[in-house]
Amino acid sequence: MHTFIVKTMSGLEPVLSAELSAIGAQGVRELKRAVAFEGDTHMMYRANYELRTALRILKKLTSFPAFNERNLYGGIRDIDWSQYLGPGDTLAIDAVTSGTVFTHSHYVAQLVKDAIVDQFRDKYNRRPTVNTVAPTLRVSIHIQGTTVIVLLDSSGDSLHRRNYRKDTVEAPMNEVLAAGMILHSGWDANSAFADPMCGSGTIPIEAAMLAKKIPPQYFREKFGFFRWPDFDTALWNQIKSGADAQICDIDFPILASDKELRARNSTVVNLMASGLERVVTVDRVPFEKLLPPAPSGLLMMNPPYDERLMVEDTIAFYQGIADRLKQCWTGWNAWVISSNRDALKHFGLRPSRRITLFNGALECSFQRFDLYEGSKNITETD
């Protein structure tokens, strides 16, 4: 059994923890923007292929105390790196530091690189080279005070890159965030779903993949662990085949709509790339004219917000959204994410749940509104 650290986005730790428990991971515990678990190679392969809210999966190699640069360099050189790469291979170092002893992550990464390549130079008179894009081995260093944790990145490219996004509109949503929002919502993945402001289609595509049980990395061709010396091809093929065998058909509507032609076309392109063009219906309809595709379901939206707009215009825009929800979407649950908390306070509906998430650098409130007959116009004051 090994210890693994799964990186994620702030606010998604609870749903990532639930995902890990669902696939049988042991010792699951939430950290800051990460979740730790205990598992074997089988679990590492599954986690990379099946987790929807993971960014990177790091395998802990060792840890040691370091009170100065000499301790850090020596501790890294004490590891037999020939177990993990050869002198003709490439490597990359990622470093994260906190505390007062090591304060510059770039310098730490440089020192760690020097320790590794010096070991190879002394042993083989040859040394690995640095490749930050597609290295044979990506090493992750986490320093907390005087504790150095050395981890191997099993994922390679960030797991948010699903490889179905072929076209985008401005500020596309991260796929991991979209999946996390859907999992946070509690959607049963067996009832109608709608995104009336779909942009490039990330939210409805992630919803369709979840409903059809398509693994999030179904379209990915390689992972970091493919280059590890102990890569087990037979085990990997078994895990991938088992997950792919769960893919199923659905018989309920998933709707993606946007008033902008550019967004509608981008969504169509990405749906075709994901093979979901017959699963998700795409409309080009402004929200004030859009009708629900079913009597009940879950609506999720990321309303646009132009910072050049006056606050009064933004409030009116959000109030218009709430009015349409009350008039035409009764029987549905609506989830809205926005960085404009002031506009949400004047939304006109009282949220039944609030979750703080980050869309890029923007701190956002992700709020649930239960729509029922006779929904009252309520202005948030708290």
Task: Give yes or no for a contact between 318 and 347, defined as CB atoms under 8 angstroms apart.
Answer: yes
One domain for residues 274 and 346: yes
Q: Which residues of 145-181 are buried (b: 16+ CB within 10 A; e: fewer)?
A: ebebbbbbbbbbbebbbbebbebbbeebbbbbbbbbb
Question: Is there a single domain that holds both residue 314 and residue 198?
Answer: yes
Number of domains in the chain: 2
Name the pLDDT band for 377 (thresholds 50, 70, 90).
very low
> Would you say residue 194 lies in a domain?
yes
Residue 366 sits in a domain of what CATH number? 3.40.50.150
Confidence of residue 12 (pLDDT cuts 50, 70, 90): very high
* Same domain, residue pair 256 and 348: yes
Do 180 and 56 share a domain, yes or no? no
Same domain, 201 and 125: no
Domain membership of residue 8 (yes or no) is yes
Q: Is residue 227 part of a domain?
A: no
- pLDDT per residue as tens digits for the range 207-231: 999 999 999 999 999 999 999 999 9
Find the mean pLDDT for residues 307-311: 49
In CATH, what number is assigned to the domain containing residue 48? 3.30.2130.30
pLDDT at 276: 98
Q: What is the pLDDT of residue 308?
A: 47
Query: Is residue 300 domain-shared with residue 209, that is, in the same domain?
Result: yes
Please give the share of the chain, as a percent, with pLDDT higher than 90. 87
Q: Do 255 and 308 fall into the same domain?
A: yes
| Domain encompassing residue 19 | 2-153
pLDDT above 80 for 311: no
Residues 113 and 185 in one domain: no
Show Cβ contacts of residue 368 under 8 Å, excluding neighbours closer than 6 positions. Answer: 185, 333, 334, 335, 351, 352, 353, 354
pLDDT digits (tens, 9 = 90+) for 106-164: 999 999 999 999 999 999 999 999 999 999 999 999 999 999 999 999 999 999 999 99
Are residues 336 and 189 part of one domain? yes
The string of pLDDT tens digits covering residues 331-355 is 999 999 999 988 898 888 999 999 9
Say whether both 123 and 257 belong to one domain.
Answer: no
